[in-house]
Amino acid sequence: MGKSRVAVIWSLAAAVGMLTAGCGQGLLGGSDTAEDKGPITLGMLIPQSGSEAAIGPYMKNAAQLAVDEINGKGGVLGRKLELKVADDACDAQTAVSGANKLVTEGVKISVGGYCSGATLPTLPVFGKANIPMIIPAANSQELVDQHLKHVFLINGTGTQQAAAAMAWITKQGARSVALVHDNTSYSKDIAVRTQALLDQPGGPDTAIVEAVTPKESDYSANINNILAKKPDFVYWTGYFQEGGLITRQLRQAGYKGGIMVGDGSVSEKLAQIAGAEAGEGVYATMTQTPDTLQGAQTWIADYTKKFGSAPGPYSNQAYDAVRLAAEAVKQAGSTDGAKVTTALEGISGFQMFSGPLKFTPDHTLSTGGFQILVLKSGKFALQDALK
């Protein structure tokens, strides 16, 4: 009951935000030329509160590092870059009001987006303001399926993640696979796509597709359902809090087969929640992390020196998003949204952590770059690059 009250308040706040954003557009619309001398602002929506708050600082710091490096080399088109961050709390309403705030502040390119569910409603907000979006982390297929011209994804998509999962499941020689998701668009998407691959003739089969309610503590009823089908492999596609609990409760119930989690669950907290014993040997499908990057030692050292802590998941993607934004502005010779979009579509061979960049017609990476990590003494380490 309390939650629905909040929803009402937030949607009111969002409506007010939209109104003021509209006004801002009208007032600032003509002053574009006056702004041409000032810094180019990049906007970043990331979770700084809520259940996924742990990720926010990794992305923000990495983006700031890229901004400072580019400014140190003289900026772009003779102008400095400036980073503006807003909180999306991994929540749709908060994300929309945050996006409106960034639009009012005059950002030229959006370089944020972690939770797919929170990023999805911000697409039209940035779209109307003619702001291209380079999304570093959010990767639900729903972001792609709308075929919006201003949206670019530099993380692997759900389809690519499902393919990587399937490759590893086959390699492990599993026969019967249980898919577990939390009914959010991101998580269900991966589960459904993996199921489609499993259902093809030959190879492993789907034992069960089980949906759980997020934010609970006791998943024994779901685990009972899963174990009744006697799977020899379990793939969890949601986030780390439930992932840790499910891993622990599966092992407590005597499950001995393989467990794998999706990229939303790659966090050391998963290992802590599952406990050292239950967590050991859990696999994960994940794009590159700072720990698994080849030849990134200097970058990691720079980051650690500047912020006093090591980079984490999605630091590299956030860093690349800013660099890519700068490159696109440079090639377009302007910060105009349409010109930057065209430049992004034309970019070929731009070197990123995930390899040389060339967007597909869908504005996604041509290869997802997914690899398999394994949990060893509380840390995720590279198991198989799937090359």
The token pair that represents 347 in the structure block: 């970019």
Q: Does 257 bind another protein (CB under 8 A)?
A: no
Q: How far is the CB of 210 from another protein (least distance, A)?
A: 5
Q: Does 309 bind another protein (CB under 8 A)?
A: no
Q: How far is the CB of 312 from another protein (least distance, A)?
A: 13
266 to 285, contacts with another protein by CB under 8 A?
Answer: 269, 272-273, 275, 277
Between CA 262 and CA 209, with CA 178 as vertex, the angle to 5 degrees is 90
| Helices and strands in the chain: count of H runs, count of E runs | 16, 14
| Binding segment (CB under 8 A) for another protein, from list 26-34, 44-52, 230-238, 354-362 | 44-52
Q: Does 146 bind another protein (CB under 8 A)?
A: no
Long-range residue pairs from 277-281, CB within 8 A, at least 24 positions apart, any chain: 277/251, 278/247, 278/248, 278/250, 278/251, 278/252, 279/244, 279/247, 279/248, 279/375, 279/378, 280/375, 280/376, 280/377, 281/374, 281/375, 281/376
Question: Binding string to another protein for residues 165 to 184, with x set by CB under 8 A, is what?
Answer: ------------------x-
Q: Does 221 bind another protein (CB under 8 A)?
A: yes
Q: Does 92 bind another protein (CB under 8 A)?
A: no
Q: Quick one: which H or E segment has residue 282?
A: none
290 DSSP assignment: G
Q: How far is the CB of 51 from another protein (least distance, A)?
A: 7
230 to 249, contacts with another protein by CB under 8 A?
Answer: 241, 244-245, 248
CB-based contacts of 247: which residues, under 8 Å, 6+ apart? 236, 259, 261, 270, 274, 278, 279, 282
CA distances from 246 to 208, 212, 219 (A): 15, 10, 7
User: Do 320 and 352 contact (CB within 8 A), yes or no?
Assistant: yes
Q: Does 3 bind another protein (CB under 8 A)?
A: yes
Q: Does 50 bind another protein (CB under 8 A)?
A: yes
What is d(CA 67, CA 111) in angstroms, rounded to the nearest whole number? 12
Q: Does 51 bind another protein (CB under 8 A)?
A: yes
Nearer to another protein, 5 or 305 (CB): 5
Q: Does 222 bind another protein (CB under 8 A)?
A: yes
Q: Does 39 bind another protein (CB under 8 A)?
A: no
By CB under 8 A, name the binding residues for another protein: 1-3, 5, 49-51, 53-54, 183, 210-213, 215-218, 220-222, 224-225, 241, 244-245, 248, 252-254, 269, 272-273, 275, 277
